[in-house]
Chains A and B, each alone.
Chain A
């Protein structure tokens, strides 16, 4: 299913992706048939609560988790069909930034080595060239290469470590970066710095981003389009402004309502959300949100709702979308 919002050939095309993995003798249905497209130069935000499969989806895009079925087309090539050397080559064009910046740096290696590692793996033999590239990206992320390169990760704060991670992901000039909750482990004041940095890097290096987060406001700040996930399925996809102004899926509306607003005049609405997300081991039949949805009826438990266009560029998978 192609979405008209994406006119040109998308850089990333995830087609009916299914990821399942075993947990003891049970199967976790982490991603169940998700399709989405990211156009070149675009930032697609992916939001959802913990356990909704958004991180699994991010890792499946990079083939760090292999899909059970479905395809991940990157620049027209199917990553799920790739193996070994071909996949390793492709991975250089796609990078990943993690939630925990400190854990994503090897504690025993110096920053200079960590940042030049991708170049070594990619086969850049010239040491001077490597050093030049490392200097370039470290300065780009706002760190002084001469001061930073010789130090170990534990000498830096979380925000600085995230800058280093961003530098490492940029050093190979990738086209696409999956950002998996890159700011959720950071303090509010540091968070804004990193979000601004990501925006700046995106413009400077011409990146395309898949930005995964649980915080809707954070996602909105950086995304052109937003996809909302619930329990392994997409609920809604649409342009950020539109989606936040007029959510069509009851789950999107619920998420928006639950955000605490820093304004004492806006009384927090009594939580409409009843209950908690069911386990992805045994997801509900039909629409997976039906167990918590105020609009659920017979049809919702019988039929899986398809993504349907509810407004130009906005798609919702709901039998009874909000007007």
Chain B
């Protein structure tokens, strides 16, 4: 096994709020090798976006980060701002949820694309233009040379996300962070964008972190999945293993709560009762315990650590893991 491209070691992020310190990310360890995809799944407020911001070193000003983010042999948290800036956009690229806000509305697509290319790759204008056209064609945009002169608002949501991906890919990044890249898009467009990401990733041997709230999105696209809840990784496993045998009740409940296409109409859904805990009031025990149907008294008193299951690489944080022989849901 080669050395991982990205290692997140004991990373915690705290945000000061008027109500007290909010623990957005609670001591997370993750690693990712070149050319592989890590899916991070969780509901809103579980810390998945903050974790990705910690990797990018783009946390809000007052946020406190502890732990190490090793990328390509260097600790990003210790890097000088200038070196970091050069790294972002070049080796480390990101695609956000809303392409309308991540693209600058007053600049043409060509300007935005060529600016990134010229800044990081030191190409002259005609070369940068040629490369821009190639990139737009690669992300499936028809008539790319005409698109260069257009503004973001002249494109549809799907087109804008393709353009954002083109900008992210422009400098051949080693790691692409896709933060809910398809949440704002329609389902048929979502499928196209996910295909595009997968195709480009294979072609460029790029590592990818795919952040989503939809287990369905990671199931077919990620090599490994980390499920986050209340700032912690509560289960982590190779995708196949996770869906075959999930040990953490939260993962099971999350999967069960998704309406299934093959279920009969009017089948009551096994809903998770209650809602996630208030992150400014840390719980003593397992953060899922108040909503968990398997919770026993020990769950309320101590935090379960991530422990290994029988399959290598499968970790879960639960005192009473589910021992399934059959997959749930399907």
**Is A bound to B?**
yes
Residues of A whose CB lies within 8 Å of any CB of B are 49-50, 157, 159, 187-193, 195-196, 199, 214-218, 220-224, 240-241, 244, 254-271, 273, 276-277
Residue ID in chain B nearest A224 by CB atoms: B265
Residues in B233-279 with C-beta less than 8 Å from chain A: 239-240, 243, 253-255, 257-261, 263-273, 275
Contact of A199 among B188, B258, B268 (CB under 8 A): B268
Q: How far is the CA of A258 from the CA of B270 in the complex (A)?
A: 24
Residues of B with C-beta under 8 A to A199? 266, 268
Distance in angstroms from B166 CB to nearest chain A CB is: 16
Once the chains bind, are A276 and B259 in contact (CB under 8 Å)?
no
Sample of 5 more A-B contacts, CB < 8 Å, known A216-B187, A221-B263, A276-B189: A221-B265, A259-B216, A260-B214, A261-B220, A276-B158
CA distance A266 to B243 in the complex (A): 12
Q: Is the CB of B219 within 8 A of A193?
A: no
Instruction: For the complex, give the distance between the alpha carbons of A267 and B188 in Å.
Output: 16
Q: A188 is contacted by which of B213, B261, B327 (Cβ under 8 Å)?
A: B213
> Given contacts A50-B186, A187-B44, A218-B259, is CB(A223)–CB(B265) below 8 Å?
yes
- Shortest Cβ distance from A257 into B: residue: B191
Would you give the shortest CB distance from A301 to chain B, in whole angstroms? 20
Minimum distance in angstroms from A289 CB to a CB of chain B: 11
List residues of chain B with CB within 8 A of the CB of A244: 261
B219 touching A276, Cβ below 8 Å: no
Minimum CB–CB distance from B311 to chain A (whole Å) comes to 14
Q: Are B273 and A193 in contact (CB under 8 A)?
A: yes
Among A218, A224, A268, which residue has its beta carbon within 8 angstroms of that of B191? A268
Q: Do B269 and A196 have beta carbons less than 8 Å apart?
A: yes
Residue B329, interface by CB 8 Å: yes
Question: Is B220 touching A190 in the complex (CB atoms < 8 A)?
Answer: no
Contact assessment for A49 and B269 in the assembled complex, using a CB-CB cutoff below 8 Å: no
Q: In the complex, what residue of chain A is closest to B223 when comparing beta carbons?
A: A264
8 Å CB interface, B129-156 against A: 156
CB pair A188 B275 closer than 8 Å:
no
Whole-angstrom distance between the Cβ of A24 and the nearest chain B Cβ: 13
Q: Which residues of A contact B44 (CB under 8 A)?
A: 187
Contact in complex: A195, B259 (CB < 8 Å) = yes
- Chain B nearest Cβ from A312, distance in angstroms: 17
Interface size class for chain B? Answer: 35 or more
Cβ-defined partner of B213 (8 Å) among A187, A218, A254: A187
A193 to B270 CA separation, bound complex (whole angstroms): 8
Contact yes or no, A270 B269, CB < 8 A: no
Q: Would you call A273 and B216 a contact (CB within 8 A)?
A: no
Q: Quick one: which of A187, A221, A260 contacts B269, CB cutoff 8 A?
A: A221
Task: Give me 30 A-to-B residue pairs in the complex whose CB atoms sit less than 8 angstroms apart, sorted by A's number.
Answer: A50-B186, A187-B44, A189-B43, A195-B269, A195-B271, A196-B268, A216-B261, A221-B260, A221-B267, A222-B265, A255-B187, A255-B188, A258-B188, A260-B190, A260-B191, A260-B194, A260-B217, A261-B216, A261-B220, A261-B261, A262-B255, A264-B219, A264-B239, A266-B219, A267-B220, A268-B195, A270-B195, A271-B188, A273-B188, A276-B159
B261 pairs with A256, CB closer than 8 A: yes
Q: How far is the CA of A222 from the CA of B259 in the complex (A)?
A: 10
Which residues of chain B are near A264, meaning CB under 8 Å?
A: 219-220, 239-240, 243
Cβ of B215 within 8 Å of any chain A Cβ, yes or no, is: yes
B193's closest neighbor in chain A, by CB?
Answer: A271
Considering residues B214, B240, B258, B272, which has the most beta carbons from chain A within 10 angstroms of its beta carbon?
A: B258
Chain A: minimal CB distance from B264 (Å): 7
B1 within 8 A of A: no
Q: Is B192 an interface residue (CB 8 A)?
A: yes
Nearest chain-B residue to A202 (Cβ)? Answer: B266
Q: Does B221 contact A (CB under 8 A)?
A: yes
> C-beta contact mask, B97-112 vs A, less than 8 Å → 1, else 0?
0000000000000000
Q: How far is the CB of A257 from chain B (nearest CB, A)?
A: 8
Kindly list chain A residues whose C-beta atoms are within 8 Å of the C-beta of B260. 217, 221
A192 touching B271 in the complex, CB below 8 Å, given contacts A187-B44, A217-B260, A261-B216: yes
The answer to whether the Cβ of B80 comes within 8 Å of any Cβ in the partner chain is: no
Q: Which of A49, A241, A269 contacts B264 (CB 8 A)?
A: A241
Write the nearest CB–CB distance from A201 to chain B, whole angstroms: 13
Cα distance A49–B221 when bound, in Å? 23
Q: Name which residue of chain B comes closest to A278, CB basis.
A: B156
CB distance from B278 to the nearest CB of A (A): 10
Does the CB pair A49–B240 fall under 8 Å? no
Cα-based distance from A220 to B243 in the complex (angstroms):
23
